[in-house]
Amino acid sequence: MVLIVIGLAIFAPILAPNDPQKIDVMNSLNHSSREFPLGTDQLGRCILSRLLYGARTSLMVTGLVLLVSISIGTLVGTVAGIFSDRLIDKIFTALCEVLLAFPGILFALVIAGMLGPGVLNIMIAIAIVSWANYARVIRGLVIGVKNADYVKAARVAGTNHLHIITWHILPNIKNTIGTLIVTDIGSTILTISGLSFIGLGAQASEAEWGMMINEARMYITKSPQMILYPIITIIAVVLAFNLIGDALASNEELEGL
Amino acid sequence: MIKYISKRILYAFFVLLGVSLLTFVMGRVAPGDPVDTLLSNKENPTLEERLEAEEYLGLNRTWTVQYFDWLMDVIKGDFGNSYKTNQPVLHEFMVRLPATLLLTFGATIAMLLIGFPLGIASALKKGKILDVGISLYNTIAISIPSFCLGILLILVFGVNLKLLPVMGIGGLKHLILPSLSIGVIAGAGLARLIRIQMLAVIKMNHVTAARVFGVSNFRIVKNHILKNALPPIITSIGLMIGGLLGGSAIIETLFAWPGAGSFLVQAIYGRDYPVIQAYALIMASVYMLINIGVDLIYGLLIPAQWLVGDNDENKKDTVVNRDSVGLNCDRSGDICTDSSAE
């Protein structure tokens, strides 16, 4: 299911029956037809094509956000974990505490609001909010691994910090980090579509699911199918990612993490 | 006990200080020059006029001085005037805050009413068909963005059945749909958490012992399982309410609910920075207050917690406590982010 979604997103330009931006006011709010399999929106744009291109936007943004926040999180978490008895760890931990003490979505809203609407800005906002969580979990993992005998042995043998991190610690926690990423894909897609829905994310001409739902809201009585398709799409995609995340988490015995 | 509460308040104070620093920095980094805004009605401002404007706004001083000035104003309750309406921001918020709190309250009730029965039922029937069904339902529910659920509810109850109003604020009827759209999803997240916590307790020896002694099922659940599983659950309910508060911004926009969240969204469009900053600080304070309140309830339910909080001399204990509990509810925090956020 997930592979299908990713495939659809990659091959959107080939698969889409119509140009997602093409405006055809004569054919607005149509029901499904041969030319427009899922009908058209208020400007006569093909809903199926827009959904396919929307998958690209959503997955790309989600991927980038997770990549950035997990990189920062890993960097900070490892540094704090390695030097867990020094001042630098105290500073990082305090910073994370402040960030985590405040509900993430509130913060993302405020930051995105300050920066103004735009896809790049919501990416920045979500990344600022979410790295702290990773940093904290990874710090815990690093401390756990650090005290293992083989790391102590490496240290006694005179290995430097960088070598220990890249060869002894990161390989040991990479699976857990991977699981963390997968379990968060679903919620990140949800956050992005939510921010887009209130108009903070993608702008009108771009195809994005949250945005499409927001536009379709005006025509809810006239053509409910226009709003239903993007909703079904979001739910199905997020559900697929969540199911995989759950499966991975129970494999890793991270349930409840 | 007093020591414990004061420690919490001190902690909240530091967090608020951090939040204020962050919002201040964001306000400075944000695009748009306040000097330009002020001089926007002049054709070609000369350098002197610009300097004068900077002086007027206090921008010619170092930013630390600016920060403390601003902080002092904020402590006095002066968040500045909204760029748009030119009214004091604090006043505008106080008008709208009750609506948001009402919505959050409704959503919390819905969340508890859904979360507890489902969570307890699925933990007790672990592996049975009921558990599988509830778990499946929970997974589906946390995958639904709250605004999508809101729209579906509007479609069914508002447009098709015409049973409930879908716009604005009014009687109890107006509260039902918005609360449900947030609460149902958060409830599923809560149910998952309750299930995990209860399963961890059910395995423990004292429960088996009670069962061997022939204690009735109801009493085992009430006295032995729930009581022990409750602490982390209560802590994360506090965290989840924070998510509900933040998530309400989206639902308020959808249902044209005249609360602080929809005010924020309008302010974002209008690039009304004082409003955004005030929103961050006021919501952070409300959230801290709720969490201290939750802690108090927690202390009343499980008095031993006070003793623990009192006996251990310093912060270290709280940090450890937070960590162990924090790890358990991380996931639920996420879930509640999903649920309410989107």
Each residue of A147-185: pLDDT tens digit? 777 777 877 787 777 777 777 778 878 888 888 888 888
Contacts (Cβ under 8 Å, ≥6 apart) of B299: B1, B4, B305, B306, B309
CB-facing half-sphere around the CA of A86: CA atoms within 13 A = 6
Contact B224, B234 (CB under 8 A): no
Segments of A15-104 assigned E as strands? none
Residues of chain B with C-beta less than 8 angstroms from the C-beta of A98 = 14-15, 18-19, 22
- A to B CB pairs, distance under 8 Å: 171
Percentage of residues in chain A with pLDDT exceeding 90? Answer: 0
DSSP tally for chain A: helices H, then strands E? 11, 0
Nearest CA in chain B to A132: B330
Q: What is the pLDDT of residues A80-112, one digit of tens each?
A: 888 877 777 788 877 777 777 677 777 788 888
Nearest CA in chain B to A106: B246
Residues of chain A with C-beta less than 8 angstroms from the C-beta of B243 = 103-105
Give the 3-state secondary structure of residue A40: strand
Segments of B136-247 assigned E as strands? none
Identity of residue B127: G
B157, B199, B336, B342: best mutation site toward chain A, by most A Cβ within 10 Å?
B342
Percentage of residues in chain B with pLDDT exceeding 90? Answer: 1
Q: What is the pLDDT of residues B3-42, one digit of tens each?
A: 777 877 887 787 788 778 877 777 766 665 556 665 555 5
Residues of chain A with C-beta less than 8 angstroms from the C-beta of B13 = none
B28, B253, B338: best mutation site toward chain A, by most A Cβ within 10 Å?
B338
Give me the pLDDT at residue A14, please.
64
What stretch of H or E contains B89?
helix B89-124
Dihedral over Cα of B122, B126, B130, B136: its sign = positive
pTM given for the model: 0.75
Residues of chain A with C-beta less than 8 angstroms from the C-beta of B193 = 256
Q: What is the pLDDT of residues B193-237, one digit of tens each?
A: 888 888 888 877 787 888 788 777 788 887 778 877 887 788 788
Percentage of residues in chain B with pLDDT exceeding 70? Answer: 73
Tokens of A69: 């926040």
Residues of chain B with C-beta less than 8 angstroms from the C-beta of A100 = 326
Contact B280 A234 (CB under 8 A): no
Widest distance between CA atoms in chain A: 77
Q: Rounded CA gap, B331 and B307, in Å? A: 28
Interchain contact B213–A (C-beta under 8 A): no
Q: Which of B:93-122 have CB within 8 Å of A?
A: none
Dihedral of CA atoms B331, B121, B152, B332 in degrees, nearest 10, equals -10
* B234-237 long-range Cβ contacts below 8 angstroms, 24+ apart: B234/B294, B234/B297, B234/B298, B234/B301, B235/B294, B235/B298, B235/B325, B235/B329, B236/B190, B236/B193, B236/B325, B236/B328, B236/B329, B236/B332, B236/B333, B236/B336, B237/B112, B237/B190, B237/B294
Q: For A206, which DSSP code? A: S
Contacts (Cβ under 8 Å, ≥6 apart) of A131: A68, A69, A70, A72, A73, A76
Residues of chain B with C-beta less than 8 angstroms from the C-beta of A109 = 246, 249, 264
Identity of the residue in B140, B276, B327 whose CB atom sits nearest the CB atom of A113: B276
Identity of the residue in A112, A113, A133 whose CB atom sits nearest the CB atom of B330: A133
Contact A50, A20 (CB under 8 A): yes
Residues of chain B with C-beta less than 8 angstroms from the C-beta of A137 = 327, 330
Contact A137, A102 (CB under 8 A): no
Contact B243 A103 (CB under 8 A): yes
A193, A198, A213: best mutation site toward chain B, by most B Cβ within 10 Å?
A198
Q: What is the pLDDT of residues B266-320, one digit of tens each?
A: 888 777 777 888 888 888 888 888 878 887 777 777 665 544 444 433 333 333 3
Q: Concatenate the DSSP letters of all residues of A142-181 into one string.
A: HHHHHTSHHHHHHHHTT--HHHIIIIIIHHHHHHHHHHHH
Contact A239 B140 (CB under 8 A): yes
DSSP-H helix ranges across B203-313: 205-212, 217-219, 227-254, 260-269, 273-301, 304-311
Identity of the residue in A116, A191, A239 whose CB atom sits nearest the CB atom of B342: A191
Contact A103 B140 (CB under 8 A): no
Nearest residue to A201 (alpha-carbon basis) of A115, A121, A110: A121
The CA-CA-CA angle for residues B331, B308, B306, to 5°, reads: 90
Nearest residue to B147 (alpha-carbon basis) of A47, A204, A193: A193
Residues of chain A with C-beta less than 8 angstroms from the C-beta of B29 = 114
Segments of chain B assigned E as strands? none
Q: Rounded CA gap, A65 and B264, in Å? A: 24
Quote the distance between the C-alpha of residue B239 and its chain's center: 6
Contact B340 A256 (CB under 8 A): no
ipTM of the complex: 0.77
Dihedral over Cα of A25, A29, A31, A35: its sign = positive
Residues of chain A with C-beta less than 8 angstroms from the C-beta of B288 = 101
| pLDDT confidence tier of residue B91, bands split at 50, 70 and 90 | confident
Interchain contact B231–A (C-beta under 8 A): no
